[in-house]
Amino acid sequence: MPHIIYGGLKYKQIRHAIYCRRCQDTIESHYIHDHKLCLCGAVGIDGGIEDGNSILGNFSLMEDRSMYCATIKENNYKLWLPEEIIYDNFLKYIKIGKLQIKY
């Protein structure tokens, strides 16, 4: 399952979604081989929250709407990764040309 390590905690991806700035559609992939395109066809998403999930299309037209959560085992407390951290991680992968979140 894809994840982001931040502040010493492993945040697991629980939602794989993107927003298209052109048609203002939010699309979400729920499982492997669940390929979705936005209404205008400019961006796409596939793979759910499984390893190998991907985003497709023009990166300048999309915003990451994925969600990541870490659970503290002692008290089952859930911590949600801030939106700006997800956005920074998304931009980092665009700059190095990778289409996938790190695992």
Beta bridge partners of 62: 20
pLDDT at 100: 43
pLDDT at 76: 84
Q: What is the pLDDT of residues 20-29, one digit of tens each?
A: 999 999 999 9
Q: What is the pLDDT of residues 2-11, one digit of tens each?
A: 888 888 888 9
Confidence category of residue 93, pLDDT binned at 50, 70, 90: low
Nearest residue to 13 via CA among 73, 76, 88, 69: 69
Q: What is the pLDDT of residues 28-82, one digit of tens each?
A: 999 888 999 999 999 999 988 888 788 888 888 998 899 999 988 888 889 998 8
For residues 61 and 14, give the distance between their C-alpha atoms in angstroms, rounded to a whole number: 23
Calculate Rg over the CA atoms of the chain.
14
In the chain, what are the helix, strand and coil shares in percent, each to the nearest 5? 15, 40, 45
- CA of 8: how far to CAs of 11, 92, 94, in Å? 10, 19, 24
